[in-house]
Amino acid sequence: MVNSDYLKNLNDAQKKAVLSIEGPLLIVAGAGSGKTKVLTSRIAHIIKTKNAFPNQILAVTFTNKAAKEMHTRVSKILGSSAIGLSWLGTFHSICAKLLRKHASAVNLKSNFTIIDTDDQIRLIKNICKAENIDVKQLAPRYIIAIIDKWKNKSLYPEEVNINKKDIYEKTILPVYKIYQQKLIELNACDFGDLILHSVKILEKNKDIREIYIKNFKYILVDEYQDTNYIQSKWLNLLTGRNRNLCCVGDDDQSIYSWRGAEIKNFLEFDKIYKDTKVIRLEQNYRSTENILTVASSLISNNQNRVGKTLKSTMEAGDLIQLNCFKNGKDEAIGVSDEVEKIKKDFSLNNMAILVRAIFQTREFEERFLKIGLPYRILGGIKFYERAEIKDSVAYLRIIYQDKDDLAFERIVNNPKRSVGESTIKAIHEFSKSHRLNLENSSRKMIQKNLIKPKAKIGLNMFLDLISKWRNDLKIKKINHVKLLQIVLDESGYSAMLKNKKDIENENRLENIKELLSAMKEFDNLESFLDHVSLATSIDRDWEGEKINMMTMHAAKGLEFDVVFLPGWEEGLFPHQKSIEEKGQDGLEEERRLAYVGITRAKKNVIISFSMNRFYQGDWIDSMASRFIEELPEDNLEKNSFFEDNTNSFDEFEFNQDIELDEDLKRSPGWIRYQKRIK
């Protein structure tokens, strides 16, 4: 059933963005301006007007959550006509799909494994050990970061021109070469390779490139301000003659330069794509007028921006609260007291405390724990990074393809099979000298009687099980969900968890049950393994009535009724390191981060700072952030301290009526605490 009303629910600017389907288009979408609605309506319009079939549309997002949301919305409009949107997904998932079709062009097989960060670290450690590189002096994570930087610049090892004065890069480049060779041997690639290999395939194979240029009549990109060099290059290669590239984003929300994002992709879009049409979405459907006025006034101090003026569909709303506190402890008390006061009007789930640096949560956590106020922190261990989940997935990976040495190494002695470190080391050495993967090396060593008797029994049993499970999958056609159940039972992994009765293992068993439920959403083992590899941090459990705590970076794309923004102090926010490393560009990105923080709020914003903060083991005197001076006075409501200190932010005399410890009877949280300790 096709929904014909999709255009009626759009304002004039949104409608113009939907209907302008020919040629390059940059949609400057302010916070809360309905960019997802525009993107999905645009896709629906292209299909409904028969300008393209669903499989001729390439739609790219940054998260699986965003891709799923987009697909759901398009399906609501088009019904069954949306079937066939096979090229809607994240940069990594789409590149993985393209790469599986043309893996041979980069010396891979189509069933290659996508390795995660843990696997990368293990592989780098092994290489460093073989090359006598001290990992205490040069950390594997740093090596990976440099390699990722090169990959984001579209550089294979042989294409890297190192800074000869940089001793680290000089050491890392040979590691990069070995690392890439090893990945090919393992029939594997990392996240960076997904895009890097795809770009190189398109660059070096004109016939392949022409296939995709011809197929993709329309290309749409979400959050374009967050793209890096290689992502922009990939899009450029695919756009070709059609030039029907539509990019949506907000330059004022470009906050990920530390992750490789380049704001110039957005700012210089019209230079790359001639005759670009620019449409601004300036109608905000999220925040009150006061919130938008404050946010717009702040961001107007940035020079490197396209520029727009947000207008609210809401009423003026409450003034933005600006509070000053004696120290971090008082700030936490003040915030908790405000939460207690307003929670009768707002759900805890619709409140958020957004900090510049994660260490800032400590004071709030301690306070909330003390008074029994439930909270969650966004940024803990992701589901697919939990040990029991990684173990389960490793079993599936080695069943899927025998070259996955990293998976083999993880589970060969998990649960214990008497295959100790010395045996694994011997297998590694045999593997290296005979140029075989670990599984085949193990089989050869057993044949040649090169394994100690006890380890031989355990290893042989493990190898027999792998063969049996592959037969279950390929010959018996047992589905991937049932297969994992069989694997966990026959391997002894389930029994290992069940035999130890404690809360931790109970939780692990529950996690595995959840994994089995999650697997049911996928058609086959391949699609599930790809999903696991590509899962993002935003996909996490948000259940329960809890106030949310996270960094401002993690909050992007989210919204809450009430937002607390503590710690607005010089050196902390804007962060001193950012300014020292990037100068004016760093300051502007910090200001964009402040803009993101403020515009997460729908109803209320409470900004605060303290004059003293315990930082890195010592008390420091703080000064109010320069961003506070950039906020419009008429839209602020200051606490009583400011009444006697209107001239300067440099000379603070603190009003002690904020010291809530002296009179805590008015705090519901303190009452709960007193009841608990009696």
* The one catalytic residue among 116, 119, 193, 222: 222
Q: What is the DSSP letter of 319?
A: P
Residue 452: active-site member: no
* The one catalytic residue among 15, 36, 97, 343: 36
Q: Identify whether the C-beta of residue 199 lies closer than 8 Å to the C-beta of residue 237.
A: yes
**Token pair of 522, please?**
């996928």
Residue 35: active-site member: yes
* Burial status of residue 1 (CB atoms within 10 A of its CB: 0-12, 13-18, 19 or more): exposed
Q: What is the CA radius of gyration of the chain?
A: 28
Beta strand extents in 237-374 (DSSP E only): 245-249, 277-281, 283-284, 311-312, 320-325, 351-355
Residues 181, 170: Cα–Cα separation, whole Å: 18
**Token pair of 416, please?**
């214990």
Query: Strands of 601-610's sheet, edge to edge?
Result: 375-377, 547-551, 351-355, 560-565, 601-610, 320-325, 636-638
Residues 54, 242: Cα–Cα separation, whole Å: 16
DSSP H or E stretch at residue 211:
helix 206-215
Residues 369, 364: Cα–Cα separation, whole Å: 8
* The one catalytic residue among 223, 226, 252, 570: 223
Q: Are strands 612-615 and 618-621 parallel, antiparallel or unpaired?
A: antiparallel
Q: What is the DSSP letter of 29?
A: E
* The one catalytic residue among 35, 329, 417, 591: 35
Q: 484, 453, 652: which is closest to 569 by C-alpha?
A: 652
* The one catalytic residue among 14, 227, 239, 253: 253
* The one catalytic residue among 73, 403, 591, 600: 600
Residue 274: active-site member: no
Q: Identify whether the C-beta of residue 118 lies closer than 8 Å to the C-beta of residue 89.
A: no
Q: Are strands 320-325 and 636-638 parallel, antiparallel or unpaired?
A: parallel
Residue 510: active-site member: no
Q: Which residues are catalytic?
A: 35-36, 222-223, 253, 600
